[in-house]
Amino acid sequence: MKVTIIGGGGRVGSNAAFALQCAGIVQEIQILDANTDLAEGEALDLLHGAASLGGQRIYAGGYDRAKDSDVFVITAGLRRKPDESRLDLINRNVALFQNILQSMQQGGYAATAQVFVVSNPVDILTEMAVRELNLPWQQVYGLGTMLDTARFRSLIAQELSLDASQVSALILGEHGDSMIPAWSSATVNGLPLAGMKEVTPAFQQKLFERTKGSGAEVIRRKGGAGWAVGATIAETIHAVALDRKSLLPVSSQQHGCYGLRDISISVPTVMGRKGVLDHVEVKLWPKEVQGLQASGRALRESLNQVL
Ligand SMILES: NC(=O)c1ccc[n+]([C@@H]2O[C@H](COP(=O)([O-])OP(=O)(O)OC[C@H]3O[C@@H](n4cnc5c(N)ncnc54)[C@H](O)[C@@H]3O)[C@@H](O)[C@H]2O)c1
């Protein structure tokens, strides 16, 4: 499988490339960036590690060379300022994103290609990509709340001194202020977290607030997220490459799940070789469903301002 990372010279794109390289599952990684020197430099640096990490093909190149990609990951974009909401980024990033979609169309891509949006505001840009590219909606998806979910699981595990890989807990909805925690389905090794004595309403509130504030905290401390977002990008691509049928909170266009339609947002989604295979309407607490629907309304309002 070939993956092209548009914006691969930046922090998120290069960290994702490294996560893909370490896993050794995809065979070919192309770094594409408006800053061609940076793209060449990152590709070269990654290539130097091939002797230790495996013999994937890693190189920099433009849209013409990218046309045989199986997955285009779009990480190009402007970062949030510490006090800026993701939706405030809309106007700054929409024009840039439209240029990228046009360049992809000019460069060409296969009818089976998949487009994986990471740039923010990710749900809005994913929906734009679904509407503007002549690809089935199942082949266009966004990172959605994958990173928020990873943060949530890792922070819960840290707080309870548990193995993070055994903690399952989803964040659903918008990758942004209206995201919601699905405590109803949170488990550790299959046992309900809500049944643990430590998991009080105050604990739940504290962990969710920490998760929600994590993006701004990382921006304040180191300029922007990189390693964890790279890991979740790779997790999604590996679900596709290996046809894993993993249930992931990626963002994709909705067709009725939880009453959501015609917006891209995160619900439990089965991911495999053809991209989005299914949306799964698992039973949530009524207040969680209401939160998810409110998140959908907030996104629709933003989308209406842009489209
Ligand atoms: N969805 C998520 O969970 C998530 C998490 C973290 C960051 N992000 C988003 O990812 C994006 C990138 O963040 P970053 O920290 O890597 O920023 P960065 O500034 O480090 O990198 C952005 C890269 O995009 C390149 N670029 C800009 N315009 C381009 C264009 N038209 N074509 C090709 N390349 C172009 C730049 O040269 C730069 O190398 C931002 O929008 C950020 O908000 C999303």
Contact 277, 270 (CB under 8 A): yes
| 162 in the same domain as 34 | no
In angstroms, rounded to a whole number, what is the distance separating the alpha carbons of residues 258 and 151? 24
| 31 in the same domain as 9 | yes
Closest ligand 1 atom number to CA of residue 38: 39
The percentage of residues in the chain with a pLDDT greater than 70, rounded to a whole number, is 99
Mind listing the pLDDT tens digit for each residue in 192-230?
A: 998 899 999 999 999 999 999 999 999 999 999 999 999
Radius of gyration over alpha carbons of the chain, in Å? 19
Residues belonging to the active site: 175
In angstroms, rounded to a whole number, what is the distance separating the alpha carbons of residues 153 and 250? 16
| 116 in the same domain as 13 | yes
Nearest to 239 by CA among 286, 231, 33: 231
Mind listing the pLDDT tens digit for each residue in 96-155?
A: 999 999 999 999 999 999 999 999 999 999 999 999 999 999 999 999 999 999 999 999
Q: Which domain does 224 fall in, by range?
A: 146-306
CATH of residue 48's domain is 3.40.50.720
Residue type, 137: W
HSE value, Cβ hemisphere, 13 Å, CA-based, for 288: 16
pTM for the whole thing? 0.97
| 74 in the same domain as 157 | no
CB distance 151 to ligand 1 below 6 Å: no
* Substitution candidate for ligand 1 out of 4, 12, 100, 232 with most atoms within 8 A of CB: 12
Which protein residue has the closest C-alpha to ligand 1 atom 21? Answer: 10
| 252 in the same domain as 134 | no
* Substitution candidate for ligand 1 out of 75, 92, 145, 174 with most atoms within 8 A of CB: 75
pLDDT score, position 88: 74
In which order are the strands placed within the sheet that holds 71-74?
Answer: 57-60, 28-32, 2-6, 71-74, 114-117, 140-142, 251-255, 261-266
CATH of residue 245's domain is 3.90.110.10
Using the structure block, give the residue that is written with the tokens 């092209």: 4
CB distance 79 to ligand 1 below 6 Å: yes
Closest ligand 1 atom number to CA of residue 223: 15
What's the number of domains the chain is made of?
2
